[in-house]
Amino acid sequence: MPEGSMGISNIATCTAPVNIAVIKYWGKRNEELILPINSSLSVTLHQDQLKTTTTIATSRSFQEDRIWLNGKEEDINHPRLQSCLREIRRLARKRRSDGDPGLDSTGLSHKVHICSVNNFPTAAGLASSAAGFACLVHTLARVFGIEAELSAIARQGSGSACRSMYGGFVQWIMGHQDDGKDSLAQQVEPETHWPELRILVLVASAERKPIGSTSGMHTSVETSCLLKHRAEAVVPVRMDGMIEAVQRKDFPAFAELTMKDSNQFHATCLDTYPPIFYLNNVSHQIINLVHQYNNYYGETRVAYTFDAGPNAVIFTLQEHVSEFIQVVRHFFPPETNDGQFIKGLPVNCAPLSEEL
Ligand code: DP6
């Protein structure tokens, strides 16, 4: 590619959406390679919703690799960033030595400048690292001309990031090999599979979480016997049930497993020593509201799930969205939360028709 006035030899911009786990990943068996103790399953949001946008440029005039997150320069020597950069460059070198002229040899030695922005609060339990590392790896692969299976590289940035490499319903198969080569994300169903499914994010707090996922799950692995039981005996059965519920578009089964798995994940946080509290009073009120709403109708119309933070992610079907939003607005009036409380998100399909 001809070089521009800044000496830029290659540049690419990509976006990656967050994913919401309905069977949670919590705990590693190998911290360096990021290999999990259990498989997990998530729903990837629509590209136009909660997402990271990353631009990466290479240039022979760049003296060193650098990264800016949301406008602020961060440490490029972070080991997880280095793992992703190293793996992508290794693939690029391999491609070159295999005789593919896609990348000239000088381009390989060029330094990169990475610029990444989220359109949602970072570290508030909204899977920012998942979208961030998925986007980083995807954009790096573009810049270096790589077309390989990339989820194993994104996984080394942040475990949950491997699931954001695919749209729709995605499982992260834990794998059993020590080198992690079989610990990969795989699409279960594409984004077009369940067009009626909707996600609402109820923002209970946009503050940074007190304990990050990485250190939280480390302490859980060290101290929680419930987590061990969950990984060995509960999740394998739930993964099968969840895949079947998704394939059959069986909302009550999907919803029940989603809520039970979120509850068990937070129970393992309580079983961690010292205990970890991600939910707050508003989260608990939302859990009660969802169960009362479902009880009122005598069927499961709405489900909640919470990651490592107090914000609720609600799953429901399009036909129930506007009524459930009214119910939430009634119990949590907008004036008590600056109108920030509800964000309506279609999952991988046409935009919501409601004005939110
Ligand atoms: C609660 O992927 O952020 O969101 O691999 O240490 O970067 P690291 O952790 P991370 O953990 C996400 C945990 C979770 C559940 C999930 O997304 O499956």
| Ligand 1 neighbourhood includes 25 CB (under 6 angstroms) | yes
For residue 201, what pLDDT is reported? 85
For residue 1, what pLDDT is reported? 40
3-state secondary structure 56-84: EEEECCCCCCEEEECCEEECCCCHHHHHH
Any idea what the Cα angle at residue 268 is, between residues 264 and 270, rounded to 5°?
115
For residue 204, what pLDDT is reported? 79
Question: Tens digit of pLDDT per residue, the chain (356 long)?
Answer: 444 556 778 899 998 988 999 999 999 999 999 999 999 999 998 876 778 899 999 999 999 999 999 999 999 999 999 999 999 999 999 887 887 665 555 567 899 999 999 887 654 456 668 999 999 999 999 999 898 999 999 999 999 999 999 999 999 999 999 999 999 999 999 989 999 999 988 887 767 668 999 999 999 999 999 999 999 999 999 999 999 999 999 999 999 999 999 999 999 999 999 999 999 998 999 999 999 999 999 999 999 999 998 989 999 999 999 999 999 988 887 655 444 445 544 443 222 222 22
Query: What is the DSSP secondary-structure string of 177-242?
Result: -TT-TT-EEEEEE-TTS-TTEEEEEE-S--SPPSS-HHHHHHHHHHH-HHHHHIIIIIHHHHHHHH
| Ligand 1 neighbourhood includes 24 CB (under 6 angstroms) | yes
Tell the residue nearest (CA) to atom 7 of ligand 1: 158
**Probe ligand 1: pick from 18, 25, 31, 33, max atoms within 8 Å of CB?**
25
Q: Report the atom number in ligand 1 closest to the C-alpha of 214.
A: 6
Tell the residue nearest (CA) to atom 14 of ligand 1: 307
User: Which spans in 205-349 are helix H?
Assistant: 213-223, 225-229, 235-248, 251-271, 281-297, 318-331
Q: For strand 111-118 and strand 66-69, is the pairing parallel, antiparallel, or unpaired?
A: parallel
* Cα–Cα dist 259/170, whole Å: 18
For residue 129, what pLDDT is reported? 87
> CB neighbours of 204 closer than 8 A, spacing ≥ 6?
280, 282, 283, 286, 310, 311, 312, 341
CA of 105 to the centre of ligand 1 (A): 36
Q: ipTM for the complex?
A: 0.99
CA 17, distance to chain mean position in Å, is 8
* Cα–Cα dist 254/20, whole Å: 13
